[in-house]
Structure 1
Amino acid sequence: MKKNIKRNKLLYLLQGLLLILIGNNLQAQEIPKKLKWSERMAATVMLQHKESFMIDHATSPKWDYVHGLVLTSMEELNKKHPNPKYTEYIKSYVDKLIQNDGTIDSYKFDSYNIDMVVAGRLLFDIYAKTKEEKYLKALQTLRKQIEEQPRTPSGGFWHKKIYPNQMWLDGLYMGEPFYTQYTMTFENGKSLDDIAKQFELIQKNDRDPKTGLLYHGWDESKQMPWANKTTGTSPNFWSRSLGWYAMALVDVLDYMPKNHPKHKELVNYLNQLATALTPFQDVSGLWYQVTDKGAVGGNYLEASGTAMFAYAFAKGANKGYLPKKYKKIAQRAFDGMTKQLIKIGANGEVIITQACAVAGLGGNPYRDGSFEYYVNEKKKDNDPKATGPFILAALELNR
């Protein structure tokens, strides 16, 4: 009897091991290498984050810019490679957060955090298809935030209520594509001049005349310890912030009518930025964390900024905003990522390495914008600020 029990236990153990091996083998086949990079990356996101609210390892649903970025990239993927899994994954995030009365869970209106606007881009398509009032109300709430967003004396949006009189490059991506799409969809384009003004202020006040690069932030009051006492600019060029700005330009241009006088102006800004960035592209095709400092003092070739530049350059060239040579520059950047910054996991997942997890200015603990600060911030594999732009770049490059 005891022998039978032992034999049965051993049998169950072997069966369990066999099931694990079979399961692992099936999982390994879930992301085939024959798929395009955009589809492989999206499959990786869905494999690593079973529910869309779990992106960036969130443990509970929250309205956040990283979800907006990654799911917007999947929305673009779904347009070119339709898949009901993408549609469901995107909509499940929105439906976790948007309540029946249109309120957005976890969103705090009176924080005036411009980062919180970008996820609203997901609502346009869902509202257009469903015509459900709750999505429209959520869109209107985010538009109301823009209307009431505190501004610098010259009219630029504060990055957050807690950062008075400061414009960060990040904020142009967080606010302006949504703002442009909203004003074109619901307001007959009445706010296009105001949108262009946000870029004009950055170009006028935040651009380094020597390199043509833009600093991470600008404090119009010149009160912040990190701010240059003459210009108000922060001390260094951070590639991801420049990437946010580049993506903001190409995405706003999707909605800015070609016959609008500000369209040409924004195209010129994109060309100026592309011209300034190109000399700092490494021979590998990648860009450094601190854009202009090269391989010194712990500086490293960084994934998210590179992916953002690849996307903006490729899209700019595809749309005719940039000369065709920038498509080749984008290809080099993408090749650099796939050769040097990407590992393939046991389940076929795409793992992007060397991505800066987060960086900012001021706050508590205080961030001084120094070279040492940027190069010592932590890195994270498959950070959403890298995975989303990687999908977008792969789509533009048809890779």
Structure 2
Amino acid sequence: MKNKIIFLALLLLSFNLMFAQNSLLSDFPKGYTPKEVGNRLAHRFVVGKHMLHGGKWISYPETFNWNGSLKYAAITKDRELLKLLKDKFEPLFTTEKGLLPPKNHVDLNMFGSLPLELYRITKDKRYLDLGISYADTQWQLPETAKSEEKEWADKGYTWQTRMWIDDMYMITIVQTHAYKVTGDMKYLDRAAKEMVLYLEELQRTNGLFYHAPDVPFYWGRGNGWMAAGMTELLRCLPKNHKDRSRIMQGYQTMMASLKKYQMPNGLWNQLIDEPDCWTETSGSAMFTFAFITGVKQGWLDTKEYAPVARKAWMALVSYINENGDVTEICVGTNKKNDKQYYYDRPRKVGDYHGQAPYLWCTVALLEK
């Protein structure tokens, strides 16, 4: 009888500990709940102006902010918000058609993920036809291709390969979205093959990634693109996929390293391994998204990583101002082999580079 009581007591203690750990990602004080934050940021996007790429086309930050808003509207079953987001897209079929990005660069083809997400939610075939064209042309070598682009294509990679860590979200997001709406494994195979290439070439022994092979710095948002890209891909890859274990290894190694570099304030710096560098929110939000998802999917140990994710989320929310704009966001950044360049990058308020991953976090927190 005594042993049975001890067993039941230990079982109850284990259950209470598990519940406490799980509640770290579900029980938030007023003002910090994912519904409150998501609602503020999604509606902020609805009334915002287009953020154009080169002043011509819908940019990748706007695309990803739009995607985040759509996913938030879907998971909260907010039909009014969904209608507002659909209405915002409608002119791209007509009067704003000229703002559709051309299909000739990794930073532009990613746009296809947006109409594909709209198709997933609405089943309106116009979105499917538009989105798939961006996913497919990423692997269709153009007649004007340069020799290096042809070499990549000959090896089975996208001709848009350029070995910047940013690419591992730009490529992954459109290819995984194409898979989600078609069920065609070729899209996952493409993204996985590309991801393994980038892991082999850019991930260092400490788990972090250089911005590019010739730029040996651990830039925050660049690493964020990689963390988010692996997360999106692992959510889709079947457990028996030949590349899954390699990608999971890269992901878990990175998460362990990021845990080590988390600053006392809960976030990460513009240069992750430089403690005197400034706190940057967009990369921090991408890491937080990857941590939240990893814990919920069982890829990361809950006891070890749920506190990391919660601490980061609570810190992130404090960087949203009264207008619903995220602060301390690094502006768009090309690679440069100059450490001071990363220290000196301007910071913006309300930039879509930062607004978007905050919304990804709200959706990840709301998912069961």
Q: TM-score, normalising length from structure 1?
A: 0.73
- Mean CA deviation greater in 136-145 or 312-321: 136-145
CA distance in 1, matches of 2:363, 2:120: 24
Paired amino acid for 1:322: L
1:120 is matched with 112
1:214 aligns with 2:188: no
Name the residue aligned to 2:353: 385
Map 1:274-293 to 2 at 5 A.
274-293=255-274
Cα distance, 1:152–1:350 mapped onto 2, change above 3 Å: farther
> Partner of 2:85 in structure 1?
90
Gaps of at least 5 residues in structure 2 are: 1-28, 142-148
Give the alignment partner of residue 293 of structure 2, picking from 315, 323, 331: 315
Question: CA separation in 2, counterparts of 1:48 and 1:188?
Answer: 35
Residue in structure 2 matched with residue 243 of structure 1 by the alignment: 224
The alignment partner of 1:288 has SS state of: coil
- Counterpart code for 2:170: M
CA contact (8 A) 1:180 1:256 kept: no
Counterparts of 1:1-399 in structure 2 under 5 Å?
37-45=33-41, 48=44, 51=47, 54-56=49-51, 62-99=57-94, 105-109=98-102, 112-128=104-120, 131-148=123-140, 150=149, 153=152, 155-157=156-158, 166-183=162-179, 185-186=181-182, 188-209=184-205, 211-218=206-213, 227=214, 234-295=215-276, 299-324=277-302, 325-339=304-318, 341-343=319-321, 345=322, 349-361=323-335, 368-398=336-366
Deviations 1:121-172, CA, capped at 9 Å, x for gaps: 232343356554432321232023212254654554465xxxxx62211111
Larger Rg: 1
Report the CA distance between 1:241 and its aligned residue.
0.7
**2:282 alignment partner AA:** S
Describe the shift of the 1:38–1:92 C-alpha distance in structure 2 as closer, same or farther (beyond 3 A). Answer: farther
Alpha-carbon shift at residue 186 of structure 1 (Å): 2.6
- 1:390 and 1:141 map into 2 onto residues whose CA distance is 28
What residue is the counterpart of 1:364 in the other structure?
Answer: none
Conserved? CA contact 1:67–1:119, under 8 Å: no
Query: Distance in 2 between the 1:379 and 1:283 partners?
Result: 21
Aligned partners of 1:313, 1:215: CA distance in 2, in Å? 20
Matched residue type, 2:91: K
Cα distance in 2 between the residues matched to 1:290 and 1:273? 15
Query: In the alignment, residue 167 of structure 2 is paired with which amino acid?
Result: G
Taking a change above 3 Å as real, the CA distance of residues 140 and 89 of structure 1, as seen in their structure-2 partners, is same
Output the CA distance in 1 between the equivalents of 2:289 and 2:233: 14
Over the matched positions of the two proteins, sequence identity in percent amounts to 22
Cα offset for 1:189?
0.7
Structure 1 CA distance, aligned partners of 2:151 and 2:195? 14
- Name the SS of the counterpart of 2:346 in structure 1: coil
d(CA) in 2 for partners of 1:396, 1:354:
22
Q: In the TM superposition, what is the alpha-carbon distance from 1:195 to its structure 2 partner?
A: 1.7
Q: CA deviation at 1:35?
A: 6.1
Answer whether contact 2:157 2:190 (CA < 8 A) is retained: no
Tell me, what secondary structure is at the counterpart of 1:215? Answer: coil
In structure 2, what is the Cα distance between the partners aligned to 1:57 and 1:117?
14
Distance 1:84 1:278 in 2: 37
- Amino acid of the structure 2 residue aligned with 1:175: I
For 2:286 and 2:151, locate their aligned partners in 1 and report how far apart those are by CA, in whole Å. 27
Structure 1 position 321, deviation (Å): 1.7
Aligned pair in 2 of structure 1 residues 195, 395: CA closer, same or farther (>3 Å)?
Answer: closer
1:275 positional shift: 1.4
Cα deviation digits, residues 352-376 of structure 1 (max 9, x gap): 2211121112xxxxxx242211121
Shift of residue 104, structure 1, vs aligned partner: 5.2
Aligned mates of 1:40, 1:152 — CA distance in 2? 48
Question: What residue identity is the alignment partner of 2:312?
Answer: A
Q: Which moved more, 1:250-259 or 1:142-151?
A: 142-151
SS of equivalent to 1:342: coil
- 1:239 is displaced (CA, Å) by 0.8
1:348-397 deviation per Cα after TM superposition (whole angstroms, max 9, x unaligned): x3332211121112xxxxxx242211121111112212122112223433
Q: Offset at 1:342?
A: 3.5
Q: Would the aligned equivalents of 1:55 and 1:384 in 2 still touch at CA under 8 Å?
A: no
Equivalent in the alignment of 1:365: none
CA contact (8 A) 1:68 1:122 kept: yes
CA distance in 2, matches of 1:216, 1:280: 17
Give the TM-score, by structure 2 length.
Answer: 0.79
How many angstroms does 1:267 deviate by? 1.9
Higher RCO, 1 vs 2 (CA within 8 Å, ≥6 residues apart):
2
Secondary structure of 2:247 counterpart: helix
Deviations along 1:47-66, whole A, 9 cap, x unmatched?
655546x15499x9942211
CA contact (8 A) 2:222 2:283 kept: yes
